């Protein structure tokens, strides 16, 4: 029987290849939140090794159920409540939504007990929407206070030995134009470039941006990790 996911997956991979310039390595994270284990196994059989989850209980359950597949990388992409951070410290291989200092410090402490180093992305609120999490950076080019606050936060996180900052993550506005979405991704890339030159030893050039509706625009603006759910698995229930 044909693997039910192979067609949608192949089409997503083709679209990624078309959007990518030849030097840009893009990691596709299959966002498997709300999807049953069976679908993850189908994606795994089709070659996917990176999966994204956004609920701690669901992450823990899936990691346990699939512990025999030792080459899976689990990406936690959701915002994390303080009291749930241990699940991410224990089970996540990457964390994409580090959005405040307190979580960083708590995770670092929990990771110390197992000597684990967790690769993280700093979630950046680049659109300024009040509903969005992330370090504020909607006015970073014009507002020196906001810029300095961001740099201070990053510098503090860089001193935590058990977190390794890979780069920045953001989400575009929902239901907006392609132009505005693309501008959001441009802004994040430019912020990343600015931080590389501004903060000594901030070697974190990765960009986690792009979802089912906008991953091609994100790749055109330099995304190195895209988080794609529904375009692979179909609509979530
Ligand atoms: C759900 C989710 C995605 C994937 O969204 P799709 O529209 O299914 O591609 C990506 N990033 C985050 C942070 C998410 O919560």
Q: Which residues, other chains included, contact 201 with Cβ-Cβ below 8 Å and sequence gap of 6+?
A: 158
Task: Write down the pLDDT at residue 56.
Answer: 98
**Distance of CA 144 from the midpoint of ligand 1 (Å):** 32
Q: Measured from the CB, is residue 174 less than 6 Å from ligand 1?
A: no
Reading phi first (left if > 0) and then psi (alpha if -120 to 50, else beta), residue 234 is in left
If the chain, 237 residues long, is cut into consecutive pieces of 10 residues, what is the mean pLDDT of each piece?
88 96 92 97 97 98 98 98 97 98 98 98 97 97 98 98 98 96 98 96 97 98 98 91
pTM (2 d.p.): 0.97
Residue 237 is predicted with a pLDDT of 76
How long, in residues, is the chain?
Answer: 237
Site to substitute for ligand 1 among 30, 227, 235, most atoms within 8 A of C-beta: 227
In ligand 1, the atom with minimum distance to the C-alpha of 215 is 9
The CA distance from 180 to 215, in Å, is: 14
Which pLDDT does position 137 carry in this prediction? Answer: 98
Q: Quick check: CB of 212 below 6 Å from ligand 1?
A: yes
Interatomic CA distance for residues 215 and 87, integer angstroms: 28
Picking from 8, 11, 15, the residue whose alpha carbon sits closest to that of residue 219 is: 15
| Alpha carbon 14 to its chain's center | 21
Name the residue with the closest Cα to ligand 1, atom 10.
Answer: 227
Pairing of the two strands 163-169 and 27-31 = unpaired
**pLDDT in the model for residue 22:** 79
Q: What angle do CA 49, 83, 75 make, to 5 degrees?
A: 10
Ligand 1 midpoint to CA 229 (Å): 6
- Residue 165 backbone dihedrals phi, psi, to 5 degrees: -75, 120
């Amino acid at each position: 029987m044909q693997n039910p996911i192979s067609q949608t997956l192949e089409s997503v991979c083709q679209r990624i290849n078309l959007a990518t310039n030849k030097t840009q390595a893009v990691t596709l994270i299959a966002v498997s939140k709300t999807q049953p284990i069976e679908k993850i196994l189908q994606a795994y059989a089709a070659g996917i090794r990176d999966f994204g989850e956004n609920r701690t209980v669901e992450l823990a359950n899936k990691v346990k159920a699939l512990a025999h597949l030792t080459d899976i990388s689990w990406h936690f992409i959701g915002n994390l409540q303080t009291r749930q951070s241990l699940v991410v410290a224990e089970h996540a291989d990457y964390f994409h939504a580090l959005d405040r200092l307190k979580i960083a410090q708590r995770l670092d402490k929990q990771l110390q007990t197992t000597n684990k180093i967790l690769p993280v992305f700093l979630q950046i609120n680049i659109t300024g929407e009040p509903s969005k999490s992330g370090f504020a950076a909607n006015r970073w080019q014009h507002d020196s206070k906001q810029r300095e606050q961001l740099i201070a936060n990053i510098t503090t996180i860089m001193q935590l030995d058990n977190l390794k900052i890979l780069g920045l993550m953001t989400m575009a506005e929902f239901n907006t134009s392609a132009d505005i979405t693309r501008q959001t991704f441009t802004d994040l890339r430019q912020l990343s470039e600015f931080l590389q030159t501004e903060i000594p030893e901030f070697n974190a050039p990765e960009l986690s941006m792009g979802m089912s509706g906008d991953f091609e625009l994100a790749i055109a603006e330099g995304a190195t990790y895209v988080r794609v759910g529904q375009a692979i698995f179909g609509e979530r229930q």
